[in-house]
């Protein structure tokens, strides 16, 4: 057992009780993207009391904590803080009932339906182990509590606000995410582990008129319907079956009344790709098809494209992943294993991409073992409520312990090398 996890084992009872209380508190008080004021203060106050040099409001609400402990590598550990604009439907005694106004001023339910509350709790727990057991490691730990992952702006906003020489440059950047999977397990992968994600809003312009006089109109509803169907052929007819890709139309909005042909229609779509060339091709095809359908409808102006969010590929450094895999195997045995890429997307890689620093991202299973076993037996794992479901509810134990152990184990691969000498 590595010294950091050994330190966790020694104080696990008291610490895990404290962290469970913190987790439930964060879960009951979720905050929307770029509005994580309470969560940021909770994390900043906690690590500051442990002796970290803390900088607040980095990239709006981001928090950076630095703890130096002699000569050695600088390891950056990142956790995202934001919740989703959706109502929770888990039935948990600590479920969120919070409502808030989004950036458009619309009141929405708010819930930690992606597990970021666990991510923050894990990092807070790791911060205590680092601070209280400095004899177990050498180097510098940099903790990053990031806002706005769900809108794809948080990492970029922190990087933009980073400043030259303000913080130490990391030698490795580490992150993890709770996902559907047997609680107690850890899944890793060298190379691409998460897809790139692009969300677009496309406004199609027609000419409104009375529903009884379509000859005087250019109908944007027909235009949008034809465009929606045609866009589905990009993956089915233009992308090789050997290249994974997804294109989903999540929203199509037009008009207000059955006898009025509206002036315009709006399509919102989301793409997931695992190859940069495929991504660029699909983005080009979306524009080509939308413009062609507008031309076919004799629209008087071209469509308007707005990027809602854009996430790069999360592509783990091979050598660093192998280093972590060996540490995970030593700690977890066959409960740690290589996984296939997931079609989810993250802005975590922006840190490493911007600074040209290797990074590794992995998954921690959060599904109750009995629930997972039954679903596997029934061949219905896809029916387990997943991230972004209103019923997503990671089981606290052993997920809390496993995520904390995984974070410490990965960091120890750099910080505890002197222990082997």
The CATH number for 233's domain is 3.30.70.360
CATH number at residue 410: 3.40.630.10
Q: Are residues 66 and 163 in the same domain?
A: yes
Residue finishing a domain among 278, 310, 342: 310
Domains identified in the chain, total number: 2
- Say if residues 331 and 252 touch (Cβ distance below 8 Å): no
Q: Are residues 244 and 337 in the same domain?
A: no
- Output the pLDDT for position 2: 80
Using alpha carbons only, give the angle 368, 373, 377 rounded to the nearest 5 degrees: 150
- Say if residues 170 and 357 touch (Cβ distance below 8 Å): yes
Q: Which domain range does residue 258 map to?
A: 196-310
Using alpha carbons only, give the angle 320, 73, 398 rounded to the nearest 5 degrees: 60
Which parts of the chain have pLDDT scores under 50? 419-421
Q: In whole angstroms, give the CA distance from residue 241 to residue 125.
A: 44
Alpha carbon 95 to chain centroid, angstroms = 21
Q: Are residues 211 and 323 in the same domain?
A: no
Is 112 assigned to a binding site?
A: no
- Output the pLDDT for position 9: 77
Q: Are residues 235 and 170 in the same domain?
A: no
Alpha carbon 394 to chain centroid, angstroms = 16
Q: Are residues 262 and 234 in the same domain?
A: yes
- Output the pLDDT for position 200: 97
Q: Are residues 100 and 173 in the same domain?
A: yes
- Output the pLDDT for position 382: 94
- Output the pLDDT for position 188: 98
- Output the pLDDT for position 14: 86
Q: Are residues 51 and 169 in the same domain?
A: yes
**Phi/psi of residue 232, each to 5°?**
-65, -20
Using alpha carbons only, give the angle 112, 272, 63 rounded to the nearest 5 degrees: 40
Is 116 assigned to a binding site?
A: yes
pTM for the predicted model, two decimal places: 0.93
Q: In whole angstroms, give the CA distance from residue 379 to residue 322.
A: 31
Q: Are residues 51 and 168 in the same domain?
A: yes
Residue finishing a domain among 281, 310, 339: 310
- Output the pLDDT for position 377: 95
DSSP calls for 248-273: EEEEEEE-SSTTEE-SEEEEEEEEEE
- Output the pLDDT for position 8: 77
Is 27 assigned to a binding site?
A: no
- Output the pLDDT for position 13: 77
Buried b (16+ CB within 10 A) or exposed e, 301-315: eebeeeeebbbbbbb
């Amino acid at each position: 057992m590595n010294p950091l996890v050994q330190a966790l084992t020694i104080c696990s009872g008291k610490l895990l009780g404290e962290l469970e209380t913190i987790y439930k508190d964060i879960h009951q008080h979720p905050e929307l993207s770029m509005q994580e004021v309470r969560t940021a203060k909770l994390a900043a106050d906690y690590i500051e009391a442990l002796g970290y040099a803390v900088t607040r409001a980095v990239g709006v609400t981001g928090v950076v904590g630095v703890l130096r402990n002699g000569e050695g590598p600088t390891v950056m550990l990142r956790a995202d803080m934001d919740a989703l604009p959706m109502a929770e439907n888990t039935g948990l005694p600590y479920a969120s009932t919070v409502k808030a106004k989004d950036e458009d001023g619309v009141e929405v339910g708010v819930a930690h339906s992606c597990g970021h509350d666990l991510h923050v709790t894990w990092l807070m727990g790791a911060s205590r182990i680092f601070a209280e057991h400095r004899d177990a490691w050498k180097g510098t730990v940099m903790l990053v509590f990031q806002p706005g992952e769900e809108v794809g702006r948080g990492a970029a906003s922190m990087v933009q606000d980073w400043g030259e020489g303000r913080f130490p440059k990391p030698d490795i950047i580490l992150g993890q995410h709770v996902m559907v999977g047997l609680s107690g397990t850890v899944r890793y992968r060298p190379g691409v582990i998460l897809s790139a994600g692009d969300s677009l809003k496309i406004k199609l312009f027609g000419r409104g008129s009375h529903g009884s006089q379509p000859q005087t109109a250019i109908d944007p509803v027909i235009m949008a319907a034809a465009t929606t169907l045609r866009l589905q052929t990009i993956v089915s007819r233009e992308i090789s079956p050997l290249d994974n890709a997804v294109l989903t139309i999540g929203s199509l909005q037009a008009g207000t009344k059955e006898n009025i042909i509206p002036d315009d229609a709006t399509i919102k779509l989301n793409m997931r790709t695992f190859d940069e060339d495929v991504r660029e091709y699909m983005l080009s095809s979306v524009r080509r098809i939308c413009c062609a359908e507008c031309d076919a409808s004799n629209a008087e102006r071209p469509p308007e494209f707005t990027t809602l969010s854009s996430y790069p590929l999360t592509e783990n450094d091979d050598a660093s992943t192998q280093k972590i895999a060996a540490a995970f195997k030593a700690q977890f045995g066959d409960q740690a294993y290589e996984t296939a890429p997931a079609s989810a997307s993250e802005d975590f890689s922006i840190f490493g991409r911007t600074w040209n620093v290797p990074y590794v991202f992995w998954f921690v299973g959060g599904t109750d073992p009995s629930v997972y076993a039954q679903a596997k037996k029934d061949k219905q794992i896809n029916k387990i409520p997943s991230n972004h479901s209103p019923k997503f509810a990671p089981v606290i134990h052993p997920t809390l312990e496993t995520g904390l152990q995984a974070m410490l184990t990965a960091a120890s691969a750099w910080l505890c090398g002197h222990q082997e000498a």
